[in-house]
Amino acid sequence: MVSSSRPAALRRVYQLLVELDEIEPQVWRRLWVPDTLTLAKLDRVIQAAMGWTNSHPHEFNVDGKRYGFPDEEEAHDTPTLDDRRHRIGAVLGEAIAGFRYTYDFGDNWRHTVTVESRLLPDESFNTWPVCIAGQNACPPEDVGGVGGYAEFLDAIADPSHDDHSEMWCWSGGPFDPAGFDINAANTALRRLR
């Protein structure tokens, strides 16, 4: 459904579990998002909650449809629908149980997103995007995908590793793969409002 210029009425809040695939330790976030958000805004919410910088393209794959920023030159059988024109509630409805989210087609960060529940909105606490739980730090931007991240972790954790100093400088200092700060995630989400 294409969004209109007037605000849509809030009917549902989706509780989403966003899990970064193929990474150990497992990186995940649990989010509440109102059904009135566009998928483009959901991208920003996931970016903020995960700790990504939103500096690369993304794509949603929901029920066989692709949503993102349409590219006239793309070579896919399925066209990309403009995610700025589709609201979460219209896309997920009452039946969709999960979907895929991919960020940075070079590093190819694939996420599994599970719709854990559909909640009634309550103006006092859940009508805006919020991260209610999470675990572990997301990999640094441009680290080289799953394989590059594993190499980065090996190098950063071992001061005797040949690439330790280089990775230390590149990442700006120490990196804790278990480091997740829910307050920082929600501060980033508040900035989006």
The rounded distance, in Å, linking the Cα atoms of 133 and 155 is: 29
Choose the CATH number for 13-137+180-192 among 3.10.290.30, 3.30.450.40, 3.30.70.1280, 3.90.550.10.
Answer: 3.10.290.30
H-type helices in the chain, by residue range? 39-50, 88-92, 145-157, 164-171, 182-192
- Yes or no: say if 135 and 180 are a contact pair by the CB < 8 Å rule: yes
Task: Assign 125 a pLDDT band (cuts: 50, 70, 90).
Answer: confident
Q: What's the rounded Cα separation, in Å, for the pair 102 and 21?
A: 10
Q: Check pLDDT > 70 for residue 7.
A: no
Task: Work out whether strand 65-68 and strand 13-20 pair parallel, antiparallel, or are unpaired.
Answer: unpaired
Q: Has residue 64 got a pLDDT over 60?
A: yes
User: Rounded to whole angstroms, how far apart are CA atoms 165 and 179?
Assistant: 20
The tokens 């849509």 sit on which residue?
Answer: 8
Judged against a pLDDT cut of 70, whether residue 78 lies above it is answered with yes
The pLDDT value given to residue 6? 54
> What is the average pLDDT score of the chain?
92
- CA separation (Å) from 115 to 36, 51, 86? 16, 21, 17
Q: How far apart are CA 182 and CA 188, in angstroms?
A: 10
Sorted by where each begins, the domain ranges of the chain are 13-137+180-192, 139-175
**Taking 70 as the threshold, does the pLDDT of residue 3 lie above it?**
no
